[in-house]
Amino acid sequence: MIRLALLLPVLALLSGCGTPPKYAWGHYEQMIYTAYRAPDKAPTERQIEVFEKDYQKARSENKPVPPGFHAYLGYLYFDLGKADEARREFETEKANFPESAVFMDRLLANLSKKGQEVKQ
Amino acid sequence: MKRCLLRTALYSLALALTLTGCATKYDYANYRAHFPRSILVLPPLNETTDVKATYGYLSTVTSPIAEMGYYVYPVVVADHFFKENGMPTPGEMHQAPPKKIYEIMGADAVLYITLKQYGSKYQVISSKTAVEAQCKLVDTRTEVLLWEGKVMAEEGSGGGLIGAVLSQVLNQATDHAHDVAGIANLQYTVEGKGLLYGPLSPKYQNQ
């Protein structure tokens, strides 16, 4: 226990003295890890459910979700063929992070193309 | 909770010892001249024997860099985008011309990572888990190298007192390397060696 007390200042120093994270990370990285490591444990529907909950929580705490969050969620909706939801998420990513505009516009254009293929 | 705290404290000590050894400051002239707002992290090249290394590590790298004040592209979406465009492996993705990446995604810079160590080695009386990643940040428009560095962390058992405590503490962990990667990634923030704070950080102005 004494040793632990001695080590704590080191920890505090290195972790920036407890600066709270800027973003509400929720399960974003953890889910990415699971999806690659054990895809059967992270089916698309389940991921969407978890991320929508994370998003509600972040909103209730008035914290921004991290860069890429809405883009990934949009991608998951796209995977399920839910084009309207995918479009909404890509637009949100672009609105929150203008840096993403070029990539999001490309994904949005792909969505429209896909939509037309389905109609034909 | 206490166990978690102890573990972090011990890791931090190891990290502190690693960091105090090297005092030379990185030359950030190119970095400042082409300061990126957005960074694309490509799936790492894997020079380790662990096939899980590339995506195990990729899933740890968004948060430290985004928290430093950069737009980090969604790593999974980008990975799939490359795969769908005829680049199925990290090796092929790393060969994509940076200018093309700028054109297609708008990324200001690409972070190229090569994993040198990822995983556990079991020896007769001890074991160690190490993560070592070599990183290069390249400007997409000019291909100028903005920064290069190494992040690394090691956790061992059988190496004296700290090792003995650690091996007890860590026995239940399922994927040590993934945890150790999170510790290694603290080194992205080390002043004078790591990345600079980006435009989305309040620390951007005063560095």
Contact B62 A28 (CB under 8 A): yes
Tell me the whole-structure pTM to 2 decimals.
0.84
Please give the class, per CATH, of domain B2-189: alpha beta
CA distance A77 to chain B (A): 12
pLDDT 10s digits, A65-113: 999 999 999 999 999 999 999 999 999 999 999 999 999 999 999 998 8
Look over chain B and give the mean of its residue pLDDT values, rounded to a whole number.
85
Question: B117 with B53: CB under 8 angstroms?
Answer: no
In this predicted structure, the answer to whether residue B170 has a pLDDT above a threshold of 60 is no
Residue range(s) defining the domain that contains residue A62:
23-119
For the stretch A30-33, contacts whose Cβ atoms lie closer than 8 Å and that sit 24 or more positions apart, written own/partner, are A30/B59, A32/A72, A32/B58, A32/B59, A32/B62, A32/B75, A32/B76, A33/B55, A33/B56, A33/B59, A33/B60, A33/B178
- The answer to which of A45-49, A52-56, B21-25, B37-41 has the lowest mean pLDDT is B21-25
Domain count, chain A: 1
Residues 66-85 of chain B whose Cβ lies under 8 A from any Cβ of chain A: 66-67, 70-78, 80
Contact B74 A102 (CB under 8 A): no
Q: Write out the two tokens for A115.
A: 């939509």
Q: CA-nearest residue of chain A to B175? A: A37
B154 by DSSP, 3-state: which? strand
Q: Are strands B109-122 and B127-139 parallel, antiparallel or unpaired?
A: antiparallel
Cβ-Cβ contacts under 8 Å, A103 against chain B:
73, 78, 104-107
Domain membership of residue A49 (yes or no) is yes
Tokens representing B34? 């082409």
In a domain, A8, yes or no: no
Residue A6 lies in a domain: no
For residue A1, tell me if it sits in a domain. no
Cβ neighbours, 10 Å, residue B28: 15
Q: Which of A10, A63, A75 to mutate to test the interface with B (most CBs of B within 10 A)?
A: A10
Q: Does B59 reach chain A within 8 Å, measured CB to CB?
A: yes
ipTM of the complex: 0.85
Cross-chain Cβ contact A8/B9 below 8 Å: yes
In angstroms and rounded to an integer, the radius of gyration of the C-alpha atoms of chain A is 19
Please, what is the Cα angle at B118 between B121 and B62, to 5 degrees?
Answer: 155
Any domain includes A9 = no
Q: With beta carbons under 8 A apart, name residues in chain B contacting A99.
A: 37-38, 71, 106, 108
Three-class SS state of A38: coil
* A14 located within any domain: no
Name the DSSP class of A69. H
